[in-house]
Structure formats: structure tokens, C-alpha cells
Structure 1
């Protein structure tokens, strides 16, 4: 009996891209359109199961909404983790997170596309999502994001553990206007600042996917912005993955029908005539998938009316399905190394220990003027802990836990518990007074407790979609909802945030003040909660809510031995920052935050974290949050932001963080004072621990271009270009070597339309922070950067052909300085992997011969560099076409 030939998409001997192309070639137009939303419908005849591309894992697995209790490990939020300045430890954290993601997938099929990390610049602390990002510096944020992504996606040469999706691309650092606003900047600011972290995420992190933002960039919505999606992302950075829109962002391209009480447009850009045009426009621009139903309900008509071609749809689907093939979702488990990860990886002892270790390294010692910390347990009789944040957990955005989630942590250690545990074997008595209410209201039934929460209707029928509540119009009028499961709630897993929110605050605080007078030490756990700011809602002020500034000052008056611990989503302001002598900054540090806070307070851990965002004295020092200029010459009110341009004296500068020991910097030397643009700057410095505690210091290398006096220039005052964290025993000295390729010290040239190394003198600085430079030297840079070939973007106008049909390949070759090479400047060679299936000539013209699958390899040669790319093709035979018609 003759053996049936295996379909190419099922054959692991073919590349993932070839298999994806073949799978798409088997689909009808209607089936294709069912796959370009975040909920991919099942296609049983092709063996394609229903798939939800939307999962979250910002600092712990948080999806994909299976409506059952799930236990996960919750690590510190990304802003907190960034304060460790520890690339390797962040990678270990995301390795642990992705292990838990894979374990749940292997156990019961949870999906593996994670929509994280958030890497928008923290250029304004009022942003409602400040806790989700990696700080205000593009170099540091980019390096940390790359490590994060590497840990999440795994290190197997063939398969990916989970898909990382850095977001929100780009210039999305204000929540109040994200659906209708335009982030306007010049090209230098766009390239040097706002998109640089994304560049690191793609080039070094090798992210498999990326998410566009809601907003416009210089008037053009991100989801149809050719500058972002083609010029930067694919032509310059060499991105090969797929692009997904933020949820409802495609609808926003059309929108503009929603207004607030003042008549202001609060949703949509009015950039397209209708949803059909918006869907076609974004797909054509390179947004391969819409989070939402826009493509599902509008693309079919758009294709029939000629607004978009099926070939463009094919291109998007090949990118999308290639990611699922890379996850091993269409291969037998024995072929996929990550299929062996099981239940033992979920909430393991190893992960719990890592959550403590990471949390320890996120806490910044802002002030220790009296050297009161670390507290010596001996001789202490009573400690008073004050504040609702000491007992009510704040984990930050997209977190496990809280009353509205079925995803929960098995560990839940808040500050009060951590402090009590730290002194349990001593005679120290720990007392607690709430002091004030958190302001959270607990009432009503389970559904009423979830205003604005996710509404998820799971299934693969025409009326089943998962969208954020409030998306509204784009869902259409014919959506049916029905109960499909049970909400899991119990007192143990879902604790109310503040059961006595209506209590008398004056009475609560009076009790705290009376008690503060009677104890040896007061530890105030101050901060923000979920009512302060969030997604869709920025802060209007940096003040702590519930009049905490005044309360802290009063506690300082009655007991000078007061430690202030700030647990907030970002920087804060207040008179207490001046008056308090002992302050710790502990951004939402995960499930073990209480343990970490106690570890630092009592000296089990020597604080070693440093700020990654400037703490301003007042928001009035900043431009309007919707003004995306960062230099004073570029903002409407001539104000600047970030340590690179801010002219005032901050409350605490970028890079600031104290230790219980002291470090001396000595003997800075530079290997070469006169440098060519193609050289590498090498800086050495000796650092000695001159104190009595073992500890870690973060050495920061800054570069500043010397500007002649009287010259107006928009260059930064200084830029971080290197850092290293080093651990030292008391009296130990180590020599630190930092290397910076001169080509990383570049600026955008409007004259030459590329990134250049500007000749001149540069000040090389070593600092404890951006405002505490301990040594510096001048170097001279000359010559012109000979930028190498770094990216090749190859695209075909068609990838699915019939015998005798043709296609045209288009190739863009780009140098590291963003120069697009002319065709005559490089050599190109095309090769077909199977000349019986298709042929390609020297000009990239492809001709289909007979049924099958083959790839064209494009080899680009420029000077001493070469890059190869492959474009897959499927030539359909008559049998395939008949199957598709059936």
C-alpha cells in the first residue's frame, strides 16, 4: 500500500518559516482572517487548535485567564528590578518565570506568548505605569530589557521557551491621552532616546514579537507608522518576528467618537475613514495582528474591495505562525526540550529563594544621615510599625494576587510580618498601628468588586472574544455573553484590601502618635496603592496620598528614631524627604517584599541598589506630561527632564543609592587618550571597600561631549555608557575595567541623515551617581566611523504561488549608522534551496516551477561583512488548490 506523503507543515525537516508558509497556503481566505486577532480560531481540518496570544508575565506569570486557581511566584516589578542594575540576576528571574509558564503549558495547555516587558522610558514619574518599566536611561533600560528577554525566551538553539513581546512601541509614557494623543519629538530624540531601549531588545534580546502603542508619533498612529514598523524595526534593527497592536489600537486609528464631559476626544485618532480602512492600513504597514476583533470583522470586506491584498495577509500570518512553530506547538513533545518542565517548577523553593534574593537587591537606601541603620536588635525593647502598606500587599501592574485575580502567590510576606520574623528569636516587641486607611472600598458581590477588570469569554465560536472591558464599539452589536465557569474565591486566597476603609482616620493616627512616643523605634511603611495611579490613569501630583507627608513629619516630631520605608509605584515628593534622616525606597518588591525590607533594616543584607529614575522635588519642575520633549529647547515651557538634561537640583539623582559601608575610587586610567571613531574606549579604576561591612557597589561610567563656551548645543550633560556591579569584602580592593566602543557614543546628524561619531573632546566620568562624579579624564575622538553592515531586510511581494507565477524580492541593506546602501554599493547573491520548485535570477525575480516548498537565500556582502536572509515560498499544486476549495 502506498504511504501518504506528509504535509510540509507537519515535517520537522523543513524550517519553521517554510512550515508556516505551507500551513498558511492550506487556509481559505476566511480561515486566514480568523487567525489575525489575539484569539486564533481552531481549524480542526488542519490540526490547528484555538489559541490565545494574550498572556502576561511582567514579573510573574499572569495568564492566560483559564478561570481556575493558579499559584505563581511574584517577583519585584521591573522598575524595582532595574534598581539592582544586575543583568544576570534579572535574566535568572525571567528564566524562573518562563519555567512556570512552560510548566502550566505542559500541564494543561496554557498559551506561551507573553506580552512583556514594558520598556517605555520613565521620563516622567507621573506616568500611571511607572512601576512597569526599567527607568529613565535608554542604555540601562535597553541592556536590562535584553537580559530580561533572553531569560524569558530561553537559550535553546532551535526552540523558544516563551515568546517575549516588548511594549509599547513607542513613545507611550502618558496614560491620560494614550488613545487620542500624539507624542511629538524631533528625529534625534526619537532615535537617541525613545526607541533606543527597543533597539537593544531586538538586537541583543532577540525578541520574537513586539507590541505597538495606542498613541500617534508625530501625527501618525503607531500601528500604521512606517517609520517605526519598517524603517527602524525591520530595515535598521533586522527584526524578523511579528507585530501585535495594543488592545483596541487598530480601532483607535479610526476612532474619535468618544468624548469626555468637556467635549474632548478621549478615544481615537480619526486617521482612517472607517474600521475597514483602519484594519487594512495597519496590516499593510506591518501590524500583523490586532489585539481585538478589528481584523476579524473588517478584513474580508477590505480584501474584496481591494484595500489590502491576500498576499499582505499571508505575510502577516507567516510571521505569526512561525512564532508558534518556534515554540514547538506543532511538534511532538520529545523534540521540544522545554516539554519536560513540570509541576516541580511552579512555586519551587528555588524560585521562592530567588524572589527574596532579587527583592533584597532592589531596595535603595536613600538617606542614612544618623547612621541609624542597620538597627541593632540588642537593646531594643519595642518597635512600632505604622501604615496600611505594612499589611496590605501591593504587587504592581499585571500581578498575581488581590481580590480580583484567581492567579495567586503561595508566599505573601508583607513588611509587618517580615519585621516580626526578623526579631522573633529576640526580646524585641513589634507593635502595629495602621495610622490611616488605604482608601480602598470593599463591598458588594464578586462581580461588583471588579470595575474595569478583564472580561474574558473563552471559546472558538463567533461570539467568543477576550477583550478589556470598555473597548466598546469595536466589538460590534451582536456579541453574546454567558456564564461559562466558576469564580474561585476564598478568604485565604482573596483578602480584602482594607476592610475598615470608613474608619476615623484622625482616631487611627492619634493612636499611632501616642504609641510612637512609647517605643524605641518607629518604622513607617508609607507609599501608594492601586487607587493612586494605574493603566489609563496618571498621577496628577507626586505627593503621597492620604496626607502621609504630614503624618510622617508628625511621627518624626514625637520619635526621632523613625525609619521611613517608601513602597510606591515611582518617585514621590514631600517635606518629609528633607526632614527624615533615614529613608528606604522599596518599589513593589514582589511576594517577599516584607522579608527584603526587614533584611535591609536589620543588616542581614547591605543595601546595594541605586535609583534608575530621577526623584524631582516637585512636578512643577517638569514639562507637561503630554509634552515628549526632554530638552528645554524642545518643550513648550522650556523645562527639561531626565538626568541628562535636567538643570535643577533633584531630591535624589539618577544612580543614587547608599550602603552601610563606604567605597573609595582611586587611580582612574584610560588606555588611550586619542581615539579613532572605530576604536574602543577602555577605562580602569580601582575601588576599595573602606568600611566595616561587606557590600556591593555599582560603578557608573558617563560620557559628556565638551561643548565650547557660548555654543548652543542640545547634547546631554552626560550619558551613561557603562556600569558594573562589584562585591567587596571590608578593605578589599578590585580593579574594574569598563570598555565602550566609540561607535556607541553617537548622535543623529540632520545634515548627513545618519548616526555619527562627532569629533572633539569628551569627558569620561566615573561616578557613584549621575550627580556624584568622583573622577574624570578628557579624551579626544577623531576620524569617521566606518559603520559595518548590520541588517538586511528581504521581502517578497508574494510568497504563495502557483506553477508559472512569479514574485519579486526587495532587499534593503543597512549599516550600523542607519545608512541605507544603494544597490551598487554591495554585492548580492540569490540561491534557491530547490530549483525544481522555484528559480530565482540575479535581480531577485522568483519563478514558480512545480508544487512544493523552497526558500530563497539572500546573501549580502559589504566590505568585510556579510549577512544572509531566507524568504520561504510555497508553490501550490492542483491537489492543494482543490483541497482548499473543498
Structure 2
């Protein structure tokens, strides 16, 4: 009886604590006052605990939240070892890989994808059936895809800083929502900084000058903070100019002081202990823990608690410094609405009032399918082999190892279903077209199927999980993924393409891959070539929409496809001015940055600007007309590039500064306007340590890729 009485007293105390109205719960108080009040109520153990990815203060009634991956759909459950298994496991909508989403060149559609992910995160966090998902989403990846051999190319948005910054900003806004007070989820960008090689990443140094830091490698992160509103990012494993990114002074001096970030800066998984084990940068873990916090780290994805307590006892770090670190973490909880339960929060009823799982809704299927077909890039279409006409094609051979599977990558979730290319083609072709299938050419099966059919569609590419091999291993040199870079860029499966083409000249090559390949033979010989990225649950249906002409392809490449591996500088050379990316590479590409064909043709005309000069903080609108001169309705993606003749500093030969995606129906004409902002024409001046608008003439051209010039113009820049 005494025990029961004691339990009842404890229960009433807990209820009283959780219901107590602390000042930090008062939405009418200033944000700073609320956070400082909360910190003043916390014990030192609670403070140390809030340096982990599970941010919560149960004693004060703060359930908190944790982190989750979300590059192209929530990786809630899935192939990774940290994914949720068992009774709480759940499917989530799976979109094309990030590199594929970038190929849409559509910030608004990308924002919709991110918003859908945020809805699913809220549902999984707040629905009674689950209640376990994190609201801090590890996405987007703002690293630059400067080298196609990088193993994690699939996670990025390509090689151009302007495009990356635009897409990162859109994804951040989609994740965080448009409410002026609350965030739907918190976008935590990764991996700061210059983490674009996998081999030796735990100790190598990415070295480059201050201008490349500002203008290239950190630019998408910068825009993600100042334009997108992200207040969180992950530090990278590697060093930058000899100092591990986990403790680099730029964390505090640039991202916090210059950009105004006041949220979470976390280590990568295990990176804290790598400061000793691989970087050999500190003598002990207690020193390393203290120095991480002093540098700006606020969350450890590692076992840090015991060393940090030791650092406190040795006075290597003070409690006030820990208070300053957790301030940003608690601010993220506040922005997520987790320090109060106000009726004005538009996101706190998701999964409660609406109990239909988002991934089961028709809107999820439609959005995944739309994103998939918008991401498809048509690389070649000789004699208009595509689209296939159902009334003329009686049989199709679908061939290749990528034809009958949808492969999740390491950062995929578990899709509620998946449609492979073979089934997508069957769905689209109906009963009147005979479909033959051969996964390989064992016993001449592919050759026979191709020879017996009107058209052969051969599907080749990479395997994002390396067929189940262990960490850091690949079966073939041209494969890459986390912890292993590609050693080749040729496509081993191109031999299968050659055999199929010999058996049937009406061959469509579909490259299903996480990165570009060097395929000069296929470009020269195969009449139709398509590229689509991995993992979308609607891979087959989205691609079939393109193959059968439900929609014209309109995706564009976000990386240069080089003709040969010799065109690439050494992978550890981070100075892109040494011939890397379309901006500095003087070699002739196989397919240039921004390239992609459609099923129609366009003419550009009537170039105008609304001003002849541009000055500080100004914008000039560049307008022109696009006419669809072919026989197919289609999106077009006009791109605006600038050059800086006569600049006193070395600048790119051409650089993307604007683009649009516009639907133009056959026979119609549309007026397109692309704004050029003075801020996008600046360079980082290392002497004054600020962005400088250089006076003088700039040239610009508008075209359908970085190598395609349709219209030319110029502007006079005034520095005043």
C-alpha cells in the first residue's frame, strides 16, 4: 500500500512538472528570453544530453525530437543499418535520387518534393501508430559535384554553384515550410565543407583559396542559410586547408558570425573520434570534445559524454560554453513548436487529425511519377526513334540488368511499392504490344529477344549498393557510393548494348545511374539514349511516360559528361581552375552541362533587357521569345550564362546566372524573362574580405545548354 501511495505521489509530481507553465513555454515572450529561461532550468546532465541528436528534456515536459535522413524521400526505414526496423517500421515515398531531382531544373517542383517529405516526417513523429520519426532532416546535400568519380555524386545537385544554391534554397524552404513562426521540419544541410571524395576522406585535406571557398565550395551552404532559412548543417569528415572541418575556425567565424547561423552544427557520424584516430589532431578525447564545442559544434553523432564530462572536470570547457552550444539546438526545438503547444502551429496536428498515411495517398504516387519523368534526360534521338508509337510498334524487347529492378541507395527509405522499367513499359504498352525480356545475354537470350522485336530497349547502369558488398567495396571500378570513389567512368555493360544494337538497329539505350559515364561508342552508334537516376518508386512509369510520348523529355544534365577519364584532373585537386567543370574545362565534352533534348524544336528571338546598366543591389530583366517550331508540346529550359571580359581577377569562362523552365505548346510562342541580379555578378575580394561588384562590361548568352548559344547580349556594370 505504501508503495502504491508513493507511486501515486510521483505520478502527480510528474503531471505537475509537465503541466507547469514555465516562461519558455510562453509564445508571447521574445525567443531569446524563452531559450535562456529553459537553459537556466536545466541540470548539467540535461545540458550535456542536449548535445546529442536526440534533443529532449523530459523532466521539463519537452519530448523533443531526433534526426532523420531525407535526400530524396525520408530514409525512415530502408537498407541502412540505422533505419527503423520492426513494429515501428514504415514505408515512405521515394523519389529519384538527388542528382535526378536536380536534373529537373525546377526549384518549385523540388520544393514540393521536400514539402511532401516534411509532411511524412511530421506524420511519423506525431501519429500514435509511430511517434518515432525525427523532425531534423539531414538534407539537402549542399556539397559540390565537382568530379563525377566522387562516390556520393548521387546525393548532390551537380557541379555549378548557382544551380546548387538555387536548388538547395528551394529544398530547404520545402522542408521548413512557409509559416512565419514555425518550421515544418528543420533542414540540416551536409557536409560542410568540400567533402567530394570518399577514399581517404577521414584524413585527407581539401585545399583551395579563399575565393573558391566563398564563390564555390561554401556558396550553396551560404545561400541555404541566408536565402533558404536553414539554421543547421553537418561538418564534413575531411580537412580543409589542413584543419579538420569538425573544428575549423570557419564554423564560427564565417557561418555563425558572417551568415548569422544560430542553430545546429553537428559532426558527421564518428567524426569526433576520428580527430584522434585518423586526423591525429588532438592528444585525447576530452581535449577533442572541448575543442569541438569551442569551434562551434553543437551536436555530436558519436559517443562523447564521458570525455566531455572529463573536460568539464579539468576546466577545459566551461558550463557557460556548453550553454552557448545548446542555445542553437534549443532554438531549433522552439522553431519546430516543441517548446509549446499552441493552436497557431499549423503542423502539430499532422498525423493526428489526418490519420491517412501520406505515402498511401494518390498525390504521393503522382508527385513521384511527375518528378521522375521531369528528371529524365534525352541525350540522343536520331531520326526521332522516340517516342515510340503504339500503333506502329508490335513488339518490344526489354533487356538488361537495370530493367527489372528498382534499387534503393543507402539513403533511401522503404518505398510503399516500386515499378521497374519492365513493368512500366508493360503498363504503358497495353495488350497489343508483345514484350520480351532478357536480363543478360546468357545463351544469346538478349540477342534473340532483340532480333525478334521491332524495338529493343536496353537498360544498363550502376548498382547503388554494390550488390550487397561490405562498406567501401565495389564489384566494378566504375561503381561508386559512400566510402568508395569510382576508379573508372567507362560503362562495362556497354558490351551488352553493342550486342543488342547489332541484332536490332532500333535500339534505345537507357542509362539508369547515379552519375555520368563516358560512352563515346554509344553516342556515336545508338540512335536513342536516355538517362534517369536510381531509386524512384515510379521509375518504370515515369520513364515509360517519356518513351511512349505521354510527355516530352525536358530534363537537363547537372554535370559535364566527359569523353574520357583523361579529361578529369586528379580527384584530390580541389582547385577547379585547373580545368574542372564546364566553367574551366577547355576539352570538348561528350555531353555538356545543361544539355538535354526534347521531342520538338525551339527558336529563340527578340532579346531585350529592361536596362543597359546594372549597379549595386540592382536587377536587370533579360527577356526573349521562345517559339515551339516542332510538333510536340514540351517544356524548354532556357539558361543564361555570363562572362567577364577584362576582369582584373581570374573568373570562369562562362557561368550560369539564371534559368527558367517553361511549357511551350507546339506552334505557340512565349515571352520568357530571366532576372540577373547584381549580387550574382560579384566576386569575393580577399583584400577587403567582402563581395565586390566589379565595374565594366559583362557579356551574356542565352541557350539551351552551356555549349549552345541562341542569343547574345551585354551589360555595363556600375559599381556604385
TM-score norm. by structure 1 comes to 0.74
Gaps of 5+ in 2: 1-15, 77-82, 467-478
Within the candidate set 140, 144, 158, 1:121 is matched to 144
Name the CA distance, whole Å, in 1 between partners of 2:358 and 2:677.
Answer: 41
Within the candidate set 10, 16, 19, 2:34 is matched to 19
Give the structure 1 partner of residue 191 of structure 2: 168
Within the candidate set 629, 649, 666, 2:605 is matched to 666
5 Å matches for 1:360-759?
360-400=373-413, 408-425=414-431, 427-435=432-440, 507=442, 510-529=444-463, 530-531=465-466, 532-544=479-491, 547-574=492-519, 575-588=521-534, 590-632=536-578, 640-707=579-646, 714-759=650-695
Which one has a larger percent strand, Structure 1 or Structure 2?
1
Q: Please say if residues 669 and 685 of structure 1, whose CA atoms lie closer than 8 Å, have aligned partners that are also in contact.
A: yes
SS at match of 2:390: coil
CA positional deviation for 1:758: 1.6
Asked whether 1:9 is paired with 2:24, we answer yes
The Cα offsets for residues 762-784 of structure 1, whole Å up to 9 and x where unpaired, read as 11110110001111122222334
Greater Cα radius of gyration, structure 1 or 2: 1
The Cα offsets for residues 727-747 of structure 1, whole Å up to 9 and x where unpaired, read as 111111111111112232011
SS at match of 2:558: coil
Asked whether 1:238 is paired with 2:238, we answer no
Name the CA distance, whole Å, in 2 between partners of 1:719 and 1:35.
Answer: 43
Q: Please say if residues 396 and 569 of structure 1, whose CA atoms lie closer than 8 Å, have aligned partners that are also in contact.
A: no
Q: Please say if residues 362 and 589 of structure 1, whose CA atoms lie closer than 8 Å, have aligned partners that are also in contact.
A: no
CA positional deviation for 1:16: 4.3
Q: Please say if residues 276 and 284 of structure 2, whose CA atoms lie closer than 8 Å, have aligned partners that are also in contact.
A: yes
- What CA RMSD, in Å, does the superposition of the two structures yield over aligned residues? 1.9
CA positional deviation for 1:604: 0.5
Name the CA distance, whole Å, in 1 between partners of 2:75 and 2:33.
Answer: 32
Shift in CA distance, 674/94, structure 1 to aligned 2, threshold 3 Å: closer
SS at match of 1:72: coil
Q: Which shows bigger deviation, 577-586 or 322-331?
A: 322-331
Name the CA distance, whole Å, in 1 between partners of 2:213 and 2:28.
Answer: 42
The Cα offsets for residues 618-656 of structure 1, whole Å up to 9 and x where unpaired, read as 222111112111012xxxxxxx11111111011100010
List, as ranges, runs of 4+ consecutive aligned residues in structure 1 with deviation greater than 6 Å.
none
Name the CA distance, whole Å, in 2 between partners of 1:204 and 1:754.
Answer: 18
Give the structure 2 partner of residue 80 of structure 1: 100
Within the candidate set 318, 330, 346, 1:321 is matched to 330
Name the CA distance, whole Å, in 2 between partners of 1:22 and 1:733.
Answer: 60
CA positional deviation for 1:39: 3.7
The Cα offsets for residues 33-90 of structure 1, whole Å up to 9 and x where unpaired, read as 12212245x65433344x6623111111112626333021111111111111111111
Name the CA distance, whole Å, in 2 between partners of 1:653 and 1:372.
Answer: 22
The Cα offsets for residues 262-284 of structure 1, whole Å up to 9 and x where unpaired, read as xxxxxx21111111111111100
CA positional deviation for 1:552: 0.8
SS at match of 1:58: coil
CA positional deviation for 1:138: 0.8
Q: Please say if residues 582 and 592 of structure 2, whose CA atoms lie closer than 8 Å, have aligned partners that are also in contact.
A: yes
5 Å matches for 1:346-365?
346-347=358-359, 348-365=361-378
CA positional deviation for 1:396: 3.1
Q: Please say if residues 406 and 539 of structure 2, whose CA atoms lie closer than 8 Å, have aligned partners that are also in contact.
A: no
Q: Please say if residues 74 and 121 of structure 2, whose CA atoms lie closer than 8 Å, have aligned partners that are also in contact.
A: yes
Count of aligned pairs: 675
SS at match of 2:113: helix
5 Å matches for 1:257-268?
268=278
Within the candidate set 312, 321, 329, 1:312 is matched to 321
CA positional deviation for 1:319: 1.2
Give the structure 1 partner of residue 307 of structure 2: 298
Asked whether 1:95 is paired with 2:136, we answer no
Q: Please say if residues 395 and 591 of structure 1, whose CA atoms lie closer than 8 Å, have aligned partners that are also in contact.
A: no
Asked whether 1:284 is paired with 2:294, we answer yes
Q: Please say if residues 283 and 313 of structure 1, whose CA atoms lie closer than 8 Å, have aligned partners that are also in contact.
A: yes
SS at match of 1:103: helix
CA positional deviation for 1:411: 2.5
Name the CA distance, whole Å, in 2 between partners of 1:141 and 1:117.
Answer: 10
Shift in CA distance, 676/149, structure 1 to aligned 2, threshold 3 Å: closer
The Cα offsets for residues 167-219 of structure 1, whole Å up to 9 and x where unpaired, read as 00110011112111110001111111111111111111101311111111101
Q: Please say if residues 129 and 397 of structure 1, whose CA atoms lie closer than 8 Å, have aligned partners that are also in contact.
A: no
Q: Please say if residues 253 and 271 of structure 1, whose CA atoms lie closer than 8 Å, have aligned partners that are also in contact.
A: yes
Gaps of 5+ in 1: 256-267, 401-407, 437-506, 633-639, 785-886
SS at match of 1:666: strand
CA positional deviation for 1:333: 6.6
The Cα offsets for residues 787-829 of structure 1, whole Å up to 9 and x where unpaired, read as xxxxxxxxxxxxxxxxxxxxxxxxxxxxxxxxxxxxxxxxxxx
Q: Which shows bigger deviation, 668-677 or 645-654?
A: 668-677
5 Å matches for 1:39-50?
39-40=54-55, 44-49=58-63
CA positional deviation for 1:13: 3.2
Name the CA distance, whole Å, in 2 between partners of 1:397 and 1:145.
Answer: 21
